[in-house]
Structure 1
């Protein structure tokens, strides 16, 4: 299994990207990580030679402020474009980047290409659920398409259902449509039309509308929505998790000696809470609907999220996920 890594993408590249790759390469001997970027900088961070890490030199870098489509078309020698091209040419099996999200989505769609029958690829993110220990749920789309059609939302449900089955071992994952109420007649014209398509979709286990306040309580294994709403949900969950930990910490530190002593006793519990709410441990966001795994992790990712994202990609490649999706949509298209 060969994974193409955009080593120059993200706020902390290439230092943290290389660190995460080293950790993953040492743990997983069955993967080869191909790092695309400025060779001198990568080798400086790599230090030792590992048999399953390769470097491909790339002169250009796509920056966070670059226009996504223009940068993909003009920066042909950039680390992201060369990595994507290698996946298209079957030299590598998956693409990973912490860089410019729009550019990565463009590279996945224009260079690697959509699965036949998929109208628009969507981004899937995995979140921790508070329903029980180790529980998770998936949200799709979290930002690939701000304006989604009912058809897109219905296809997202199929894509995410197969991901939950293949990668996380869910036998019959439940699917909920994010809406402003649980009644069937709730929502705008898009969600109402999407509801009817989801009801008729035999490839999923649709349970109806779900509300945002119930997401972390495990209301559904898969939550489908348009990219604008999904991205807002992603950032809300991320911000709430960080704020909760900060509020608890400030309350302990600013409330006298007794609170500080209590805080010492609660130190391990607070760390557990932070770990539970840390969705980066479940990997990056998956661009679903393209011919190979394309994974985006947070732009500020450090060694740990990089490692977990590589582990996630490895799990995807070990399953028959893409083959089954290609077969499903090819059948639907006929």
Structure 2
């Protein structure tokens, strides 16, 4: 069944392509000079190093960010050899995805009307070696969540075989073929995301959850506080029914307004059910140390080991001027 709402993001060396497919039509947009390899220097000249630094869980001076990413542009196919380099690469993914989505959503709405861009998706797919090579699937998932910041209940997947890269050109010739590629069964299913719209004080109840598994097991009265990431196991070959009751000001179903409930049949994945009550839009603390601490806490909540790196990044010297 390809009559679903799909958002795909392909992270290439020179640029990033976003593809949206729904029953109302298909849209594709390639953002040149917004890539994770040779596209990094023009991207940095446009945004500055601070835009990337804000996603790092450790302190790294702007000059080191600049030098390391220019080195990556010279050798775009290298795989990060340290945790520091890995987190820097994924910080870049977050910033590029955020800017690419904001630009695409604005343009698509202006040219095709709001009805052509779904408020929510059934499937969000990430593609590109920078995501496929992540040593921890939760790291790749978190980069997609932070970068795209989509709302609702949707499946999250990785395009491990690189099929999504062709969608930008295929969609212009055959939208149906593009949609079929996005639904291809070679996708690595990460799981289902529950991400409500709204922002509340951390610790305040964000939603209540009841999970009914296919074997009739139930988990009832699960309370999820605002401001957290939480994983609930649900294997790739398992299905479950989620009964979700958001608490104001959160909402999972915009037409129903804040606090309206939702029942969804979902499939599992490598990570299971990923609850994200950090809010949309995602707000980072203003203070640098508070911001880094917050990002470290999010990593810990997803079980991602983190040690503050001591070794400097290998880099080519580059004059920012």
Calculate the TM-score normalised by the size of structure 1. 0.31
Larger relative contact order, structure 1 or 2 (CA cutoff 8 Å, min sep 6)? 1
TM-score w.r.t. the length of structure 2 is: 0.31
Whose helix proportion is higher, 1 or 2?
A: 1
